[in-house]
Amino acid sequence: MLIGYARTSTAEQEAGLDAQERDLRAAGCEKIYAERVSSVAADRARLAEALRFVRSGDVLVVTKPDRLARSTADLLSIVTDLEKRGVALLVLSMGGQPVDTRGATGKLLLTMLAAIAAFERDLMLERQREGISAAKAAGKYKGRAPTARAKASEVLALHAQGVAVAEIARRLNIGTASAFRILRGSRSS
């Protein structure tokens, strides 16, 4: 049985999730697990479900390795776990050719391509840090705009109305820690 897994990091990437699901259906996946969650910041509940669901002889299908794994080590760990259980991995978008771990060549290619992807990401992050450093030196870098502090008056108003901090955070789409920080700051002023 072919089982698909699709993931995007944010709700704004809805088209990307739809495209992944389309590609997985076109590849013949009978069941697809999809989620909108950062691979780094949160549990990937649907991935965990997919990994629990697959059985010996099944193939887990993803469009790209970065949709499945956080790092090369994470990818190899997932592949090793799948192999132990008799499950193969098929990655659809790898330079125009799918990579299938049912063969030795596919395993080798997947490992090499995952390492190259990790290397490219490290290079991108390094260039980003260099760009930020240069922008700071030129006085042009302001950082990310504070989202919660801009809503301080709304936090205080809702709190004054007796709304619970968790509810304030939910309504204003900010973290509960940010809401508490604003409330603490208002008490010390």
Model confidence pLDDT, tens digit, residues 59-109: 999 998 888 887 778 888 888 899 899 999 998 876 667 788 888 888 888
Is residue 9 part of the annotated active site? The answer reads: yes
Q: Which single residue is written with the structure tokens 């973290």? A: 175
Nearest to 93 by CA among 15, 2, 179, 22: 22
Q: Are residues 54 and 106 in the same domain?
A: yes
Evaluate whether residue 129 is within a structural domain: no
- Structure confidence at residue 39 (pLDDT): 62
Q: Are residues 65 and 104 in the same domain?
A: yes
Q: The domain that contains 167 carries what CATH number?
A: 1.10.10
Evaluate whether residue 126 is within a structural domain: no
- The structure's pTM equals 0.62
Which one of 9, 39, 71, 93 is the catalytic residue? 9
Q: Are residues 108 and 163 in the same domain?
A: no
Domain count, the chain: 2
Evaluate whether residue 142 is within a structural domain: no
State the residue range of the domain holding 166: 149-188
Q: Are residues 99 and 175 in the same domain?
A: no
Residues 171, 84: Cα–Cα separation, whole Å: 46
Q: Are residues 47 and 87 in the same domain?
A: yes
Q: 99, 120, 141 — which closes off a domain?
A: 120
Q: Which two tokens stand for residue 38?
A: 């950062």
- Structure confidence at residue 32 (pLDDT): 96
Residues 110, 64: Cα–Cα separation, whole Å: 10
Evaluate whether residue 58 is within a structural domain: yes
Model confidence pLDDT, tens digit, residues 132-179: 889 888 888 877 777 777 888 899 999 999 999 989 988 888 888 888
Q: Are residues 107 and 153 in the same domain?
A: no
Report the residue count for the chain.
189
